[in-house]
Amino acid sequence: MALARSIYLDHSATTPTDPRVVEVMLPYFTQHFGNPVSVHQFGRQAESAIETARERIGQVLNCLPSEVIFTSGASESNNLALRGSMRAGDQRPVLTTRVEHHAVSRTAAEIGEVEWLPVDSWGRASVEDVERTPSARLVSLMYANNEVGTIHDLAGFAEAAHEIGAYFHTDAVQAGGQLPLDVNALGVDMLSLSAHKFYGPKGVGLLYARKGVELHAIQTGGSHERGLRAGTHNTPLIVGMALALELATTEYEFRVKQLAARRDELIDGVLSRIPDVRLTGHPTERLPSHASFVIDGAESNTLLMHLDLLGVAASSGSACKTGNPEPSDVLLAMGYTPTEALTGLRLTVGLSTTQADIEYAVDALVRTVEKVRKVRDRMVIA
């Protein structure tokens, strides 16, 4: 039976590709298909498209084109920033937090020399904790949290990192299209982006690495991207990412205003209609698209299943493996109990989200929470 509505509220996971982006990519699949390192005209056409894309991205980020390194996505960019900045015999630690995306936190843990910065109940680290560290080789701190939406004011952290002799890297994946990306104003040495978070294609991203930052390649093969990345360039996706980032910049004010309006309607509706619900993350310094909650007595994976049956796509921070849900690492680091950390729900709006979508989604969540809590109460009585 067809669903009454189909509402997508998981834009922090991925966004649909803008039709304008799809259109600009198409010729590079079929007409201008050459390998960019080939010396003939087909290769030169592809190379020109890539270097033009690099220049356009450099203008958005306010950096040199040569400081833009193309990757397969932010996970690779984060790995290149962390692993690539390692030095043999250098015992200085990487400073990061346990609320980072796993592409950073698990990579840092695998490197071995890592110190975990504490975070407050909103998921924010402290500049003072960085300043108190004697030295580090790298500080990596996300611009905006993917699970609770909290934004970090990066400039102060970058300055503190430089004072202790460290590079400063930020995973800015969630910030693409929603927060300013001027790397000089932010003070960052490295910044990771992934195109599919700002209405570009999946499978392509970038690492901004300031001139003078010493990096080593983390994979061997060809000498692409200043010798830092082996593998043939994905020309269509790179071209698409450049346009998606430009559109996100030129339409920035309109997009942020629209997203924030839908987000606030969603937060107000949930908090006013469902008892025993708390907003997670910072109440005001949060992504324009992002709403997240802990909902007493409603395990999130159960909520997601019921919401999906009602046509609402959402997500949670807890990982369910073979039917055994695990509490969110992010919520645990923020001070929530394991039981509370199993009830985290993330609802993220997009450019196509309407007021009617929000009203339907809130109604669906109200019904779902009531149903789940009734089942819980019967089990407690039994």
The answer to whether residue 2 scores a pLDDT higher than 50 is no
The predicted structure's pLDDT at residue 1: 40
Distance CA 143, CA 205 (A): 16
pLDDT tens digits, residue range 32-79? 998 888 889 888 898 999 999 999 999 999 999 999 999 999 999 999
Give the per-residue pLDDT at 322. Answer: 39
How much is the mean pLDDT over the chain?
A: 93
| Cα 236 to Cα 28, 241, 248, distances in angstroms | 5, 9, 18
Whether the pLDDT of residue 320 is over 50: the answer is: no
- What is the DSSP code string of 176-217? TTTS---HHHHT-SEEEEEGGGTTS-TT-EEEEE-TT-----
User: What's residue 381's pLDDT?
Assistant: 60
pLDDT at 148 over 80: yes
Per residue in 71-127, pLDDT (tens digit) is 999 999 999 999 999 876 677 899 999 999 999 999 999 988 899 999 999 999 999
The CATH class for the domain spanning 7-15+252-376 reads alpha beta
Q: What is the pLDDT of residue 218?
A: 87
- Its CATH class, for the domain covering 19-250, is alpha beta
pTM: 0.94
The pLDDT, as a whole number, for residue 88 is 60
Choosing from 109, 279, 320, 351, the catalytic residue is 320
Residue boundaries of the structural domains of the chain:
7-15+252-376, 19-250
**For this structure, is 63 an active site residue?**
no
Q: Judge residue 240's burial from the number of C-beta atoms within 10 Å of its C-beta, 0-12 exposed, 13-18 middle, 19 or more buried.
A: buried
- In Å, the largest CA–CA distance within the chain is 76
219 pLDDT above the threshold of 90:
no
What is the model's pLDDT at position 179?
Answer: 98
